[in-house]
C-alpha cells in the first residue's frame, strides 16, 4: 500500500453543469479503480475507528477501505453488505459529511476520506460483475409483513429473509422503492440502481405486493389475525406534505414537493407524451424551502425547461439544511438563491393561475430551539416577485392511514407512530415501526438503521 497524504479528496468526476442542467442523467459519474485506490490510501486505518460512530448501520468502514487498498473489491463489498443492504443507494444519497466522514481524523487537517464515494464505487463494481444473492438461514415457517418498501422496509425485509423468515412487502404505489423511487430525482439516484437492489431481495425470496394500500385492502389487525403473519413492520414514511398556510396556496401552478417529484420521478412526467403524466412548469419557478428536497425540486424544474429557478429561503446560506454538495451542484447549474426572504401570499390571475408572490425580507435574530438563528421579518420590506410556478418544499409528515386504522397503536401529537428507539416495538404486540413514520422526515441511512433495530427485535420475537 502506498500512503496518500493529500489533504484533499479525489475529485468526483461529474457531468458538465451546462450539459447536465438539461438532462436527467446521473450528475456524479463515479470513481475509476485508480481513483478509488488512491482515495482509499488516504485512510489512516485508525484503531478506534471513529468513522463508525457516525454510521447508523455500523458499516465496518476501515475494513472495507483496507480491502480497496489491496484491490480486493469483492471482499470490500462483502464487508459492507454485512451491515448495509443498500450500498449503491447509500453511496449516492447518504449525508456522509454529517455522519461517518464527520468523525474522520483526516478532517482535522483537510478533507475527510471520501467514504461515501468509495462505498458507491464498490457497490457499482459488484453490480457490473453481477450480484450474488446472500446466504439465508433455513426456513423457519414464520411470516413477516412489511408495510412500505422504502429504506426502512427494505432493510427489515433483507434481515428477516436472511434469518429464514417468509417476508412479504406491501407497497401502496405501483413500483416498490418508496421515497427512493418517488422522492429522489433520477440525476441523483438512478431508478435502475434502486430496482437492482430490490431485485436482489426478490432473489432471496422476498415477495412484493404493489398497489397494496394497507389500511384500505387489509388492516394491520387483519394481516395478523386473518393472513397469518407473525409480526408486522410499519415503514410507511412521511409522505404527507406540509404547506405554509398563506393565501393563494390552492392556485393552479402551486405544487407540493411530493406531487412535483412523484409526477416527475415515478410517473416519468419528464418524458411526456411518451409517458402520459403531464407536468406544467412555467418560465419562472420559485421553490420554497432550503433542504435536500428543495434542491431536488429546483434542479428538476431546470431540467423540465424552466428559464429561471429561485430557492426562496427565510434564513441565510449558512443555515441551509441541504447537503453542501447539493447546494454546490444547484449553484453550478444556475439556481438562484433568494435568501432571507419568505412569501406572505401567492398571487393569481382571473383563471386562478399563479402570476407572482408577495414576499417579505428577513434578518437573523437569536438562535431558536433548533440552534439556528431565528429569522425576523423586516417591517415594510414587502415586495412583489413575478413567478408562474411555486413548489412548496418545507417538509412532510406521516401518512395517517395506517395509524388511523390500527387499534391500539399509539401516535404522538404530530401523528408519528410511537416506537422504542432500542427495539422498534410499538404499543401494539407483534407490531414494529421505524423510519420517517416514527421520526418525521430524516435520512435514508437513519431509516435503515431503524429498520435494522426492528428486524433484530422481530427475529428475537420469532425465536420464541
pLDDT score recorded for residue 277? 84
pLDDT at 201 over 70: yes
Encode pLDDT of 135-186 as tens digits: 899 999 999 999 999 999 999 999 999 999 999 999 999 999 999 999 999 9
215: left (phi over 0), alpha (psi -120 to 50) or beta: left
pLDDT category at 309 given cuts 50, 70, 90 is very high
Range 204-225 average pLDDT: 96
* Secondary structure element (H or E) that encloses residue 436, with its range: helix 436-439
pLDDT score recorded for residue 379? 94
pLDDT score recorded for residue 276? 84
What is the CA angle 63-52-135, rounded to 5? 55
Encode pLDDT of 20-47 as tens digits: 999 999 999 999 999 999 999 999 999 9
Relative orientation angle of helices 61-69 and 73-81, to the nearest 10 degrees? 170
pLDDT category at 272 given cuts 50, 70, 90 is confident
Which CATH architecture best describes the domain 17-129?
A: Orthogonal Bundle (1.10)
pLDDT score recorded for residue 60? 95
Cell of 347: 398571487
pLDDT at 255 over 80: yes
Overall fold of domain 243-394: FAD/NAD(P)-binding domain (3.50.50)
pLDDT score recorded for residue 370? 78
Answer yes or no: are the C-beta atoms of 229 and 145 closer than 8 Å. yes
CB atoms within 10 A of CB 49: 16
Query: What is the spatial distance between Cα 60 and Cα 80, in angstroms, rounded to a whole number?
Result: 7
Cell of 384: 412583489
Cell of 407: 387499534
Tell how many helices (H) and how many strands (E) occur in the chain. 16, 16
Please tell me whether residue 455 adopts helix, strand or coil conformation: helix
Please tell me whether residue 277 adopts helix, strand or coil conformation: coil
pLDDT at 1 over 90: no
Mean pLDDT computed over every residue of the chain: 94
Encode pLDDT of 420-433 as tens digits: 999 999 999 999 99
Give the full edge-to-edge strand order of the sheet including 431-433: 207-209, 166-170, 143-147, 231-234, 431-433
Overall fold of domain 143-239+397-463: FAD/NAD(P)-binding domain (3.50.50)
The domain limits of the chain are 17-129, 143-239+397-463, 243-394
Share of the chain above pLDDT 90, in %: 84
pLDDT at 378 over 80: yes
Residues in the chain: 464
Answer yes or no: are the C-beta atoms of 388 and 354 closer than 8 Å. yes
Whole-model pTM over 0.75 = yes
17-129 against 143-239+397-463: fold identical: no
Half-sphere exposure of 68 (CA within 13 A, CB side): 36
Query: What is the spatial distance between Cα 316 and Cα 290, in angstroms, rounded to a whole number?
Result: 10
pLDDT score recorded for residue 339? 97
Amino acid at each position: 500500500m502506498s500512503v496518500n497524504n493529500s489533504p484533499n479528496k479525489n475529485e468526483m468526476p461529474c457531468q458538465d453543469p451546462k450539459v447536465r442542467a438539461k438532462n436527467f442523467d446521473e450528475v456524479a459519474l463515479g470513481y475509476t479503480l485508480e481513483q478509488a485506490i488512491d482515495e482509499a490510501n488516504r485512510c489512516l486505518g485508525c484503531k478506534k475507528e471513529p468513522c463508525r460512530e457516525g454510521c447508523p448501520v455500523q458499516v465496518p468502514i476501515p475494513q472495507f477501505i483496507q480491502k480497496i487498498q489491496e484491490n480486493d473489491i469483492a471482499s470490500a463489498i462483502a464487508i459492507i453488505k454485512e451491515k448495509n443492504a443498500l450500498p449503491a443507494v447509500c453511496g449516492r444519497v447518504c449525508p456522509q459529511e454529517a455522519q461517518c466522514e464527520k468523525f474522520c481524523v483526516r478532517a482535522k487537517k483537510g478533507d475527510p476520506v471520501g467514504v461515501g464515494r468509495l462505498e458507491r464505487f464498490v457497490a457499482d463494481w459488484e453490480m457490473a460483475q453481477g450480484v450474488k444473492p446472500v446466504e439465508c438461514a433455513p426456513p423457519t415457517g414464520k411470516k413477516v409483513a412489511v408495510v412500505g418498501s422504502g429504506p426502512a422496509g427494505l432493510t427489515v425485509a433483507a434481515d428477516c429473509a436472511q434469518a429464514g423468515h417468509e417476508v412479504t412487502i406491501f407497497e401502496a404505489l405501483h413500483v416498490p422503492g418508496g421515497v427512493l423511487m418517488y422522492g429522489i430525482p433520477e440525476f441523483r439516484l438512478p431508478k435502475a440502481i434502486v430496482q437492482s437492489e430490490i431485485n436482489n431481495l426478490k432473489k432471496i425470496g422476498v415477495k412484493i405486493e404493489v398497489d397494496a394500500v394497507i389500511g384500505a385492502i387489509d388492516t394491520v389487525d387483519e394481516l395478523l389475525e386473518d393472513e397469518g403473519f407473525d409480526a408486522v413492520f410499519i415503514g410507511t414514511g412521511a409522505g404527507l406534505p406540509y404547506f405554509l398556510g398563506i393565501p393563494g396556496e390552492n392556485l393552479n401552478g402551486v405544487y407540493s414537493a411530493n406531487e412535483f417529484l412523484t409526477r416527475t420521478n415515478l410517473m416519468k412526467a419528464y418524458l411526456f407524451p411518451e409517458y402520459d403524466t403531464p407536468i406544467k412548469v412555467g418560465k419562472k419557478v420559485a421553490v420554497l424551502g432550503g433542504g435536500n428536497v428543495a434542491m431536488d425540486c429546483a434542479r428538476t424544474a431546470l431540467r423540465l425547461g424552466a428559464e429561471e429557478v429561485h430557492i426562496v429561503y427565510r434564513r441565510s446560506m449558512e443555515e441551509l439544511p441541504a447537503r453542501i454538495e447539493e447546494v454546490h451542484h444547484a449553484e453550478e447549474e444556475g439556481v438562484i438563491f433568494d435568501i432571507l426572504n419568505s412569501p406572505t401570499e401567492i398571487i393569481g390571475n382571473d383563471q386562478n393561475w399563479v402570476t407572482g408572490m408577495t414576499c417579505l425580507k428577513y434578518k437573523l435574530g437569536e438562535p431558536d430551539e433548533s440552534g439556528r438563528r431565528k429569522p425576523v421579518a423586516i417591517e415594510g420590506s414587502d415586495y412583489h416577485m413575478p413567478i408562474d410556478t411555486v413548489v412548496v418544499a418545507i417538509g412532510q409528515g406521516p401518512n395517517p392511514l395506517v395509524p388511523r386504522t390500527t387499534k391500539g397503536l399509539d401516535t404522538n401529537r404530530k401523528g408519528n407512530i410511537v416506537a422504542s428507539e432500542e427495539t422498534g416495538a410499538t404499543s401494539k404486540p407483534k407490531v414494529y415501526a421505524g423510519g420517517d413514520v416514527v421520526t418525521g422526515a430524516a435520512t435514508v441511512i437513519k431509516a435503515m438503521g431503524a429498520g435494522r433495530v426492528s428486524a433484530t427485535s422481530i427475529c428475537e420475537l420469532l425465536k420464541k
